[in-house]
Every structure is written in structure tokens, then in C-alpha cells.
Amino acid sequence: MNKQLKKILWRVLGLISLILLASFWVLLDAHPVLAQENTVNYTYTNLNQQDFSHRDLEKAVFAAAEMRETNFEGSNLSYAILTEGVLLKANLKDANLTGSLLDRVTLDFADLTNAILVDAIATRTRFYDTIITGADFTDAVIDRYQVALMCERADGVNPVTGVATRDSLGCR
């Protein structure tokens, strides 16, 4: 088994573990064992058109949150959980989403200009008509179909990482 395949398998196993942990937490209505004391938790909340720009939201939880037209420009969302979130027309320009869990997220018509999604897990996530100019998806786990669609319009270089969007997606 090659090194890249092993890395993907470990990520998938990690994703499955996170989903199982979150499921047990919701079912038991208990506090998660691994929760940080100061973690921001917006699970199942309506955050439509809110302004979270230039905020430190590292490890924040936005699971199943409604975030239509919400502004996250320049925010640190590294290692955040956005599973099942709705981010239609959201502004994520210059946002850092390194290591974030974006499973089953709707990012249609969102703006990811110069966003960093290194090592993010974005399985079953939709990027229809999403602006991705300068976004860095290095080592992100994204469905092949979505990658193919994004490669049709991928351009730019991320100003922070220096990585071209096309290269980070593995476009030909």
C-alpha cells in the first residue's frame, strides 16, 4: 500500500471516529470528553448573515449550523467542525480552515478567495459556483467529482502558502 493511500485511509478512519463520537455525544446529551474548556459551540444554531470576520475561532464547532451569507473573512477556523453546515454565499476570503472538518457542507456560491484548507476533510461537500481563486487545498480530502468541477475554474496562488490552487487540487 503506498504512502498516499495510507494517509487517506487514516484520515477516513479519523473522520469516522469523529462522526461516531459526535453521534454518541448527541444521543447521550453529554459533554464531549475531549472538549476544550473555551471551545465555541454553535451546533444547530441559526447564524445567517452574522459577522465573524477576523476572529479566532480555532476548534470552534458549527455542526449543522445555518450560516447563509455569514462573514468569516480573515478568521482562523483551523480545526473547526462545520459538519452539515449551510454556508450558501458565505464570505470565507482569507480564512484559515487548516485541518477543519467540512463533511457534508454546502458551500455553494461562497467566496473562498485565498482561503487555506490544508489537511481539511471536505467529503460530500458541495462547492458549486464557489469562488476558489488563490485557495490552497493541499492534502485536503475532497470528493473527486467536486475536484473535477473545481479544476475547471481553479486559478491563482495563495498569498500565505505560495501554493497554486490548481496544484493543491492536483489538476492536470
Q: Residue 34: what pLDDT?
A: 47
Place of cell 476548534: 59
Measured between its terminal Cα atoms, the distance across the chain in Å is 24
| Cα distance between residue 87 and residue 45, in whole Å | 13
Where on the phi/psi map is residue 128: left (φ > 0), alpha (ψ -120 to 50), or beta? Answer: beta
Backbone phi and psi for residue 61, each to the nearest 5 degrees, phi listed first: -115, 120
pTM for this predicted structure: 0.78
Element (H, E) at 16: helix 3-28
pLDDT tens string, the chain, 172 residues long: the values are: 677 777 777 777 676 766 766 665 555 554 444 445 567 999 999 999 999 999 999 999 999 999 999 999 999 999 999 999 999 999 999 999 999 999 999 999 999 999 999 999 999 999 999 999 999 999 999 999 999 999 999 999 999 999 999 999 999 8
Report the C-alpha gap between 57 and 147 in whole angstroms.
Answer: 27
47-171 topology per CATH: Pectate Lyase C-like (2.160.20)
In the chain, where the domains are located? 47-171
* pLDDT in the model for residue 28: 53
User: 101 pairs with which residues across the strands?
Assistant: 81, 121
d(C-alpha 90, C-alpha 1), whole Å: 39
